[in-house]
Amino acid sequence: MSESAKLSFKGQDYEFPVITGTENESAIDIAKLRASSGLITLDPGYKNTGATKSAITFLDGEEGILRYRGYRIEDLAEKSTFLEVSYLLIYGELPTQAQYEDFSKEITHHTLVHEDIKKILEGFPSNAHPMGVLSSMICALTAFYPDSLNPNRTEEEINLSIVRLIAKMPTFAAWAYKNEMGHPVNYPDNSLDYCSNFLKMMFALPAEKYDVDPVVSAALDKLLILHADHEQNCSTSTVRIVGSSQASIYASISAGINALWGPLHGGANQSVIEMLEAIKADGGDAKKYLDKAKDKNDPFRLMGFGHRVYKNFDPRAKIIKKAADDVLEKLGVNDPVLEIAKELEHAALNDQYFIDRQLYPNVDFYSGIIYRALGIPTDMFTVMFALGRLPGWIAQWKEMRENGEPIGRPRQVYTGANERDYVSMNKR
């Protein structure tokens, strides 16, 4: 028996269907709200509003649960690879051996980019933030593959765009870094796996031999898995709404990169390290900064803490925190900001302000410490987040298009001036 919800307004009763998902989450279907009652809803930040039905990622913020297509994030982080997780998110099932080999071979053979892209790269000054370079080069793919602008492409043509994105994003990311460093770019090495190829493009120099450290490559693969999707977060919602206008997948992903850039979202991993460095430079007094974070008159926030959905530990943060200890030990890295991070975490988890607001470490709190140990510079941390989130964005864009969802166009409550006559300049 389907359930419903009733609304009373100005003496009139309205009834709306309630839909329930496979994990027993329920939502009021208000598709007929305005037509039947003249009312709309208002929900800044969409804290209570579902934008879609999705079969890709399930997360339970109260229980700290995260699953990709039903598989637990803990199992995938331990047993899977980033390319396998990418296939799972995009196509819905874990690949067979043959499917996996085809997928990874396709990706390996699309890692090269058009030489003219280097002219775009060379147009950026060396102080350009790599996120701006990355989103520009992804959007430039619309110029090199103009067929991607056709909204009515076949599944095969869309799959080729998907392969191109996953294959070329590491090349663009590494080239953005090389542009910043003033180093010559490295071409992909198809003899290497996905993460090793990225690391070599990032760090190899013409003057020296470069061997990828398998510890670093394995740690990076795990980090990319942990970032691969997270249901309707800010950047994913951006990808979906841009794609809903039938903009190309390249334009939609480029928009997602720009949404992720913000310090309240993916940019937080860079802000966390900058915050920890500032605390260290200021004498390492964690409590002083905890008090700043609680002070309403101080704009300072404890970056890497809090989450719109997780009101318990972010399961990714738990895995990354353990990986940070393992990786730093294996690499023999002793990073003083890791100790400050642990001190800050302990203090916050025992502070009433944070307890009352259910503020826990999120995915960004420890990830920067690992990226730093892997030799990745701070302003590349959000690029790493984008590299991980790419298959999630693609999967969500593909689902939105396959479900034939309408163009996203929210309504508003107008609070501006009422009707008034134009006043000529000499009478103002």
**DSSP class per residue in 140-199:** HHHHH-GGGG-TT--HHHHHHHHHHHHHHHHHHHHHHHHHHHTPPP----TTS-HHHHHH
Under the binding rule (CB under 6 A), the answer on residue 355 touching ligand SDX is: no
Token pair 């802000």 is found at: 271
219 phi and psi, to 5 degrees? -65, -40
Q: Closest CB to ligand SDX among 9 and 300?
A: 300
Cβ proximity to ligand SDX: between 199 and 259 the closer is 259
Please identify, among the stretches 137-145, 249-257, 299-307, 414-422, the one whose residues bind ligand SDX according to the rule CB under 6 A.
Answer: 299-307
15: enclosing H helix or E strand: strand 12-20
Stretch that binds ligand SDX, among 144-152, 277-285, 306-314, 420-428 (CB under 6 A): 306-314
Binding flag, residue 321, ligand SDX (CB under 6 A): no
In the window 360-379, what residues touch ligand SDX (CB under 6 A)? Answer: 362-364
Q: What tokens does 100 get?
A: 């996996």
- The Cα–Cα gap between 316 and 305 comes to 13
Stretch that binds ligand SDX, among 103-111, 305-313, 319-327, 335-343 (CB under 6 A): 305-313
Member of 56, 216, 249, 302 binding ligand SDX (CB under 6 A): 302
Q: Between residues 200 and 307, which has the closer beta carbon with respect to ligand SDX?
A: 307
Q: Is 364 a catalytic residue?
A: yes
- Residue 303 found at the interface with ligand SDX (CB under 6 A): yes
Are 199 and 363 in contact by the 8 Å Cβ rule? The answer is: no
**What three-state secondary structure class fits 301?**
coil
Q: Tell me whether residue 227 is one of the annotated catalytic residues.
A: no
In whole angstroms, what is the distance from residue 154 CA to residue 152 CA? 7
**Interface size with ligand SDX, residues (CB under 6 A):** 22
Residues 208 to 237 in contact with ligand SDX, rule: CB under 6 A: 230, 233
Structure tokens at 364: 């960004």
Contacts with ligand SDX in 259-288 (CB under 6 A)?
Answer: 264-266, 268
Residue 104 or 236: the one with the smaller Cβ distance to ligand SDX is 236
Q: Which of 130, 188, 243, 304 binds ligand SDX (CB under 6 A)?
A: 304
Please answer whether residues 108 and 189 qualify as being in contact, where contact means their C-beta atoms are separated by less than 8 angstroms: no
Alpha carbon 283 to its chain's center:
33
Residue least distant from ligand SDX (Cβ): 306
Contact assessment for residue 173 and residue 130, using Cβ atoms and an 8 Å cutoff = yes
Question: Residue 407 belongs to what H/E stretch?
Answer: none
Shortest spacing between CB 263 and ligand SDX, in angstroms: 7
Distance in Å, CB of 234 to ligand SDX, minimum: 6
The answer to whether 381 touches 227, Cβ cutoff 8 Å, is no
- Of 168, 178, 307, 321, the residue at the interface with ligand SDX (CB under 6 A) is 307
Closer CB to ligand SDX, 140 or 341, in the complex: 341
Tell me: does residue 240 bind ligand SDX (CB under 6 A). no
Establish if 359 lies at the interface with ligand SDX (CB under 6 A).
yes
Cβ atoms 218, 374 nearer than 8 A: no
Let me know: does 236 contact 392? Beta carbons within 8 Å: yes
Dump the DSSP string for 38-99.
Answer: S-----GGGTT------SSEEEETTTTEEEETTEEHHHHHHH--HHHHHHHHHHSSPPPHHH
CA angle 209, 213, 218 (to 5 degrees): 145
Among residues 89 and 363, whose Cβ is nearest to ligand SDX? 363
Minimum distance from CB of 288 to ligand SDX (Å)?
14
Per CB under 6 A, does 357 bind ligand SDX? yes
Which CB atom, from 389 or from 398, has the smaller least distance to ligand SDX? 389
Rounded Cα–Cα distance for residues 123 and 179 (Å): 10
User: How many whole angstroms separate alpha carbon 334 and alpha carbon 263?
Assistant: 26
**Which listed residue (307, 314, 351, 379) is catalytic?**
307
For residue 305, state whether it binds ligand SDX (rule: CB under 6 A): yes
State the nearest-atom distance from the C-beta of 188 to ligand SDX, in Å: 27
Residues with a known catalytic role? 307, 364
Residues that bind ligand SDX (CB under 6 A): 45, 230, 233, 264-266, 268, 293, 301-309, 357, 359, 362-364
